A and B are shown apart, each in its own frame.
Chain A
Amino acid sequence: RKEVEQDPGPFNVPEGATVAFNCTYSNSASQSFFWYRQDCRKEPKLLMSVYSSGNEDGRFTAQLNRASQYISLLIRDSKLSDSATYLCVVNRNQFYFGTGTSLTVIP
């Protein structure tokens, strides 16, 4: 079973829409959690860490549910510049990356 599972999408949403991505992880001993963003043919970059209490950064909100081993990312008021692949990342002695969820925001 994969360490991290994500819906690969693609998600095609209009500008201004709210979109949510989900991710599950298989090992309850996982220690820390992140969302990375990867633009086409570019390297991954940290978007935000994910905490059990939930955390928000502008239009982005991340949530962690340890009991369900589930991580989410909510993007409000989508912009064209949000178009990218969003990678769910879990750390358990090493970083495990999901396959990524592709988002395209349409004008």
Chain B
Amino acid sequence: EAGVVQSPRYKIIEKKQPVAFWCNPISGHNTLYWYRQNLGQGPELLIRYENEEAVDDSQLPKDRFSAERLKGVDSTLKIQPAELGDSAVYLCASSLVPTSTDTQYFGPGTRLTVL
């Protein structure tokens, strides 16, 4: 079974440029998460989707970040414009059902460097 797929794996951009990350969750997983992980820290939730609905986006910096999951499968996270402080690893995760005991499966992440 294929795991969570993310692309690109690495991205280097200059500040003020836009950037987009793509995630394809495990087949059949209705819940999708986007996390940001800074060096030496644990992942921090940016947004959670149940199917195509964003049910928790309270920690998404909405002035520059946006996300979509139009058909309830793939998702895209965008930053426009990027700032130096956005350099981090952006992780996508999925789980089968939205229960607190369900296991999350993470993708390999996109490592973003903003110069």
B-binding residues in A (CB < 8 A): 4, 8, 31-32, 42-46, 49, 87, 89, 91-95, 97-100
Contacts and interface: CB of A to CB of B under 8 A. Distances in A.
A44 B91 CA distance: 9
A100 to B, nearest CB: 6
Interface residues of B, number: 19
A92 B103 CA distance: 14
A46 B45 contact: no
A31 B105 CA distance: 19
Contacts, number: 43
B100 A31 contact: yes
A92 B44 CA distance: 14
Contacts of A93: 56, 100
B100 A99 contact: no
A91 B100 CA distance: 6
Interface string B93-107: 000000011011111
Interface stretch (B12-20, B35-43, B62-70): B35-43
A83 B33 CA distance: 27
Contact of B42 (A32, A43, A87, A91): A87
The 4 A-B residue pairs whose C-beta atoms are closest, nearest first, are A97-B42, A43-B106, A91-B100, A31-B100
B29 interface: no
